[in-house]
């Protein structure tokens, strides 16, 4: 279906025809743990990867298979793996590439949970992370050593909506023989990172892809463009005793995503349930329509806040005065997303009063919901970071993050207006 446009693929990719037995048009929920083998030989061939097919729903499932094919098609990849959360997706993407003793490099302006994973948790696995300023891409090259195995960035930074120059980052990373992993959670439909040089995409499907705050899920998508035969990637080129000395680099363009599935997912088990796969598929079917509305509302909200006397600064890339406006126009021509921050003149105390005064906005730890959301990052989503780390990432105590939903714009602005009166 590669000749179809995004809006068509989000409805049909992965399930071009009605389900074979029942002729069901909707993707069926295959709520099963396991699958019957045709013979002893058939079972053995599946387990040894000589044949493709279903073994156990921890590894793959027909409902989840449609989801994986759909997101891969939307991004222009060669394959995808769905997992239990966005955090699992990021963890698996890194652990597929890096082992104990290795290093990765990451943009410092990323989601607080990801920052904590990289800065602290991965140390327990013997993997070290070095951080760079996404506005100073030349720092990447100064951090690369023989131990470096990947570079990680976000399309739109969380929470301040800064935008990185993906093509320039990819050029630097590829010049040094490394893969570029990008978190595209804030910008599905708005940006297709593979077109700009990224090698691996990760998503928290919990956010825009699901769209309704009901389902936690993650996705990893493989471009199929990176050459894993480079000797520096020993875990792709050394025989794996878990698969009778299989070399993953021999598996062709889908080597990365196959290894993630048959090694990481198989052995550590953060599988996505079939029902949750079904719910994410439902969300994807309306993805473009919802995001168009999200972006329209977000720009109007940012413009409103920018003019308000109690607002010191608005960090939204779609505003003409944003330092990221040109990058937004290049990489996200449909709009700058709908998750951004602003800072009040009254600092932290004013932010508290604002959050406590909203009526329409929900105060909770999520983004990209159909409903408008609000939170204070420094004390919640990024609270694992110390004061210096917060400062380095541009997260002040007075910053408020909002996720603009699908409500009527007049109601959104009215709620913010009345809350600002109390701020």
Measured distance CA(12)–CA(310) in Å, rounded? 47
Burial class (CB in 10 A: 0-12, 13-18, 19+), 338: buried
C-alpha dihedral over 321, 327, 332, 336, to 10 degrees?
A: -30
| Four-way CATH pick for 6-283: 3.30.2400.10, 2.40.37.20, 3.40.640.10, 1.20.1740.10 | 3.40.640.10
**Same CATH fold assignment for domains 6-283 and 288-422:** no
Runs of H (alpha helix) within 254-343? 255-259, 266-268, 274-284, 287-307, 325-331
Question: What are 229's two structure tokens?
Answer: 């035969």
Are the beta carbons of 204 and 186 closer than 8 angstroms?
Answer: no
What is the structure's pLDDT at 284? Answer: 98
* pLDDT tens per residue across span 357-415: 999 999 999 999 999 999 988 777 766 767 777 666 676 777 899 999 999 999 999 99
Tokens 């088990």 map to which residue? 269
pLDDT at residue 23 in the model:
87
Q: Which helix (H) or strand (E) holds 154?
A: strand 148-154
Nearest to 62 by CA among 277, 268, 347: 277
The whole-model pTM stands at 0.95
* Residue 373 and residue 405 in contact, taking contact as beta carbons nearer than 8 Å: yes
178, 249, 253 from 231: Cα distances, Å: 12, 10, 16
The count of residues in the chain is: 423
pLDDT tens digits, 164-200 = 999 999 999 999 999 999 999 999 999 999 999 999 9
- For 220, the enclosing helix (H) or strand (E) is strand 218-222
CATH assignment of 288-422, given 3.40.309.10, 3.40.630.10, 3.90.1150.10, 1.10.8.50? 3.90.1150.10
Would you kindly state where each structural domain of the chain is located, as residue ranges? 6-283, 288-422
Instruction: Kindly report, residue by residue over 5-31, the tens digit of the pLDDT.
Output: 999 999 999 998 887 788 889 999 999
């Amino acid at each position: 279906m590669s000749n179809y446009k995004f809006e068509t693929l989000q409805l049909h990719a992965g399930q071009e025809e009605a389900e074979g037995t029942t002729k069901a048009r909707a993707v069926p929920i295959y709520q099963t743990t396991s699958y019957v083998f045709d013979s002893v030989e058939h079972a053995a061939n599946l387990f040894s990867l000589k044949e493709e097919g279903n073994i156990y729903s921890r590894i793959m499932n027909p409902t989840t298979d449609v989801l994986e094919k759909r997101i891969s098609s939307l991004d222009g990849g060669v394959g995808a793996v769905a997992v239990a959360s966005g955090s699992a997706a990021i963890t698996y993407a890194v652990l597929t590439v890096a082992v104990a003793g290795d290093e990765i490099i990451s943009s410092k302006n990323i989601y607080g949970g990801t920052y904590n994973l990289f800065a602290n948790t991965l140390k327990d696995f013997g993997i070290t992370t070095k951080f760079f300023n996404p506005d100073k891409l030349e720092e990447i090259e100064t951090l690369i050593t023989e131990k470096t195995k990947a570079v990680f960035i976000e399309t739109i930074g969380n929470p301040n909506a800064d935008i990185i120059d993906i093509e320039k980052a990819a050029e630097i990373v590829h010049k040094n023989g490394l893969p570029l992993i990008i978190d595209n959670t804030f910008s599905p439909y708005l940006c297709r990172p593979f077109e700009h040089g990224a090698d691996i995409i990760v998503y928290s499907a919990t956010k825009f892809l699901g769209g309704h705050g009901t389902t936690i899920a993650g996705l990893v998508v493989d471009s199929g463009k990176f050459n894993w035969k480079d000797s520096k990637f020993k875990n792709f080129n050394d025989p794996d005793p878990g698969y009778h000395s299989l070399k993953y680099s021999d598996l062709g363009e889908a080597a990365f995503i196959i290894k993630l599935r048959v090694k990481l997912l198989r052995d550590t088990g953060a599988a996505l349930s079939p029902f949750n796969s079904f719910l994410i598929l439902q969300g994807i079917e309306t993805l473009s329509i919802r995001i168009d509305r999200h972006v329209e509302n977000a720009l109007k909200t940012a413009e409103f806040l920018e003019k308000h006397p109690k607002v010191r600064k608005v960090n939204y890339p779609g505003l003409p005065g944003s330092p990221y406006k040109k990058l937004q126009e290049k990489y996200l021509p449909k709009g700058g997303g709908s998750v951004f921050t602003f800072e009040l003149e009254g600092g932290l105390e004013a932010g508290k009063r604002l959050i406590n005064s909203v009526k329409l906005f929900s105060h909770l730890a999520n983004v990209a919901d159909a409903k408008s959301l609000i939170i204070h990052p420094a004390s919640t989503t990024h609270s694992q970071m110390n004061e210096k780390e917060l400062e380095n990432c541009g997260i002040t105590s007075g910053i408020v993050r909002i996720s603009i939903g699908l409500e009527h714009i007049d109601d959104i602005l009215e709620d913010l207006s009345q809350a600002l009166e109390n701020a």
